[in-house]
Structure 1
Amino acid sequence: MVSSPKPPDPVATAQAQAGMNRDTAITQQQLNMTDQINPWGSVTYDKTGTDGFYDSQGKWVETPKYSQTTTYNPEQQAIFDKTTEAQGNLANIAADQSAFLGDYLDKPFEFNNDDASNWAYDLASQRILPQQQKNADALRTQLINSGLRPGTAAWDSEMSRMTNANTDQLNQLALTGRSQAFSEAQATRNQPINEIIGLMSGSQLANPGSQSPGSPQTGVGGVDYTGLVNQQYQAQLANSQAKMGGLFGLASAGIGLFSDRRLKHDIKRVGTLFNGMSVYTFKYKGDATTHMGLMADEVLDVVPEAVNLDPNGFYRVDYGRAA
């Protein structure tokens, strides 16, 4: 049959595709590394050398290496220097305080309920106790005016209610005072820790690059080399199959065609039939059209019955027999 085109080498194709992908990546990087100049300073890019790696085939691949340089304008540089100095001072203070904090945190947090209750009682008793006594005197007067006397059940009931109310008031005072005292104790405990955290969280000066609106970013489209190679191969394969179909169309028709080498020129071998005979493209003398077929002298050696001689002494080939 007519020989088919040779399939592309997958390794060579993959290597070529990888190289083109790398070229695309480097091109896109270089296009996007645009120097920036703004009121805060500048950001510039410089090629400072090369780097590289060994690919999957052991071949050394070299790639460019770049450096980004950020420069403040004089005013921003002065602010940066002062800010750095201030941060250094705060860091030193934080370091000194952290030594104290180590010993400080070794001591567990302590809170005494009795102390808190006593503190609250002492704080409020100067107002509450006189008021409770005043309320008790008023209740006694009210009961006597109502005809009740000490020792009676009604008297005892009212005085007991008054005593319970006073006790509840003092208990509530103790609970509220304890809660407030606990919060104050916690704040006192946490104050040194909060101071150190504040010292260690100083603000930072913005990078000039972050202040810039940024340069437009390009998107370089990659080359689908693998796809192009495959398309070319498929086109060649289709063309080969079309030619083979045309040749066997002649064979099935049983047409005796002039195949005498003496009548042809521009002869080129393009393939081989199953029986080993070569297939050629050629032009008949005096005709610019390119044809494809066999050479009668070669067919005589393989299938002589497919060759006949015309009255003019030129050989014809019956493709129905030759193929």
Structure 2
Amino acid sequence: MGKKGGSAPTPPDPQETAAAEAQFNRLDTYSPSGSGVRYGYTDANGNFVQGPPPADQQSAVSYQENPFEQQIRQTLEPASVALTDRVVQDNIYGMPDAPRVQDRSDVASDLFNRTFSLMAPGIDKANERLLTNLQARGLPVGSEAFNDAYGEQQRQTQDTISRLAMDANLNAGSEQSRQFGLDQAERSGAIAELVAAMGGGYNPPNSVPSGNAPGVNYSGLVGQQYQAQLANYQQQQQQGMQTASALGSIGAALIKSTRSAKDVHGYANINGAAKIMANIPLHAWTYKPGEAPFGDHGGQHVGPMAEDFQRMTGLGAPDKIDATDYLGVLSAALQSALHRIAHLEAIIFEQDEEIVPAEKVRVH
């Protein structure tokens, strides 16, 4: 079993990284006249405190006026209030009503009536022409031919009216949207004028110096450092896997197995080994995170647990299986199986010799 790999580098905390980058790029600025912008936070009493905010405090910005700016603001603010009050008085009472969507059935009815009023004269003239034609042909009113011709005319007229009603219902939705849009545009225009007047009366001067210093991409730097650490970790893991693979191959090739290097204690119980291999639990498993040895492919394995192997064979340790012991038990079990197969083959061969071929048996 190889040495366990180290842990991967911990990713940077997003909240801590964002807070650090914000602090790097929050620059207090001051002008020669005394105005400026200060960054800090608001304490539990509502007071502004300059400096980095604690973890449980909200960031805040404080603007500091110079005496000239303060004087201009105090002069223009009353004028701005007066202008806003005048605009409200002049326009708020003339504000159009809020747009409302009209009832669809009413809109459809209006569209139908308007279109039908244009078509009605044509329908009446068509009926008159039909009656004149039927009378000219000498067909009396109430006859079968008269009723058929007049009925067909009426059916066509009803079909036209039905299609007209369907078209009116479909067009009602578009007309609703159009009328609502007109009402909304009228009201929005009035509100926009009022808001512009209310917000455009006073624009205080700004003599704060520019704080557009080059930003610090702290999160990018932290991300680059993490990626470099992660790449180095992955490279070390890959090198370790290659080293472990090479050592495993060399170890497998150099297992010392000569008799002169061993104290032999007798022959293995091959039947007992076969019974063990027939009954030892075999599992499909994968290593837990951080438990896999170098060289492991990370996929699923099949085999016994070390605890079961030691309990049933008395070999190895409860947390690992010695490769030499495992191969030895497998070899003994295989040898037992081969002996059993050879024995069964001999029995089958003897039985075949005792069977008389059918073509030699004759019935007299």
Specify the TM-score bucket, using the shorter chain as the normaliser: 0.3 to 0.5
**TM-score, structure 1 as length reference:** 0.39
**TM-score, structure 2 as length reference:** 0.35
For the pair shown, the structure with the greater C-alpha radius of gyration is 1
Between Structure 1 and Structure 2, which shows a larger proportion of strand residues?
A: 1
